[in-house]
Amino acid sequence: MSLRAITFDLDDTLWDNRGVMERTETGHYAWLDEALADWLARRGASGLGRFSDRYPQAAYLAARRRLAEQHPLRRGDFSWLRERALVELLMAFGLTRSAAWLWASAAMNRFHALRLDVSPHPEVEPLLEGLGRRYRLGAITNGNLALHRLALHRHFEVAIAAGEIQAPKPDARPFLAALARLETAPSRALHVGDSWKEDVMPALRLGMRAVWIAPEAPPAGSLPEGVHPLRHVRELPALLERLATR
């Protein structure tokens, strides 16, 4: 059966994400701490002390975990969890509710700006350009990156932030939603991602084929049928050619 659509995971599939996440995590919190200290000093309210002294980064993480447990449906909606956690901490620090919301939303703007600073592998742009001429393309991410603000967004007919629809991968729903919008049956679709649990397994269960981006992957023969391991996404066009001639 010939292939009609390809869906892509984003983080650690089209770019290396680790450095970006670290910079974003510490960057937006440090920005909040600085800007808030300035604002308090200008208002003569420095008596509250320094926000990060009372609520270091670990307290922020703990607050997110607590909220995720209290709101299981929201567990994959990282932007929601972050903003609420910041509001909680800022109110506990001593800000009014409205000031806490203002500062939390300003910190989240900073977060999203830093989060967008990803560097897609240099091969990705021409890869998507070429594939877009032959296949319908979609993106399915559990991340909270504002994909519509990246140039490569234009290659995807559909982009699904699975956490924000409260169905993070490996839930089948973001895959089904993408396939519906791409008007493609699972048997004619391929999903490309780096996570065995969140990309490969759910795609296989739906009857899609899967490309597993994994530098250390075992050889294809030792994997279930329909899984094609690649060391890097740049190897995808060659794989598609091999599959087409089978």
Query: What does the binding site for Mg ion look like in residue numbers (CB under 5 A)?
Result: 9, 11-12, 194
- CB closer to Mg ion out of 101 and 196: 196
Please, what is the minimum distance in Å from the beta carbon of residue 203 to Mg ion? 13
Nearer to Mg ion, 21 or 102 (CB): 21
Taking alpha carbons only, the member of 138, 175, 174, 131 closest to residue 153 is 138
Query: What is the C-alpha to C-alpha distance for residues 241 and 94, in angstroms, rounded to an integer?
Result: 61
State the nearest-atom distance from the C-beta of 176 to Mg ion, in Å: 19
Q: Cβ of residue 72: shortest distance to Mg ion, in angstroms?
A: 22
Q: Which residues contact 62 (CB under 8 A, 6 or more apart)?
A: none
Within a 10 A sphere around the Cβ of 109, how many other Cβ atoms? 12
Q: Which is nearer to Mg ion, 23 or 54 (CB)?
A: 23
Nearer to Mg ion, 32 or 233 (CB): 233
Residue (21 or 59) nearer to Mg ion, CB: 21
Which residue, 9 or 83, is less far from Mg ion as judged by CB?
9
* Interatomic CA distance for residues 59 and 34, integer angstroms: 17
Minimum CB–partner distance for residue 118 and Mg ion (Å): 12
Q: Nearest approach, Cβ of 195 to Mg ion (angstroms)? A: 5
> In this structure, are residues 173 and 206 in contact, taking their beta carbons and an 8 Å threshold?
no
Task: Answer for the pair 104, 87: CB distance below 8 angstroms, yes or no.
Answer: yes
H-state helical runs in 76-224: 78-93, 97-115, 124-134, 173-181, 201-206
User: Minimal CA–CA distance to 175: which of 210, 144, 150?
Assistant: 210
Q: Which residues of 11-37 are buried (b: 16+ CB within 10 A; e: fewer)?
A: bbbbbebeebeeebbebbbebbbeebb
Closest CB 17 distance from Mg ion, rounded Å: 7
Instruction: Please say which residue, 34 or 117, places its beta carbon nearer to Mg ion.
Output: 117
Which letter, b or e, does each residue of 59-78 get, where b requires 16 or more Cβ atoms within 10 Å of its Cβ? ebeebbeebbeeeeebbbbb
Q: In the bound complex, what is the minimum distance in angstroms from residue 174's beta carbon to Mg ion?
A: 13
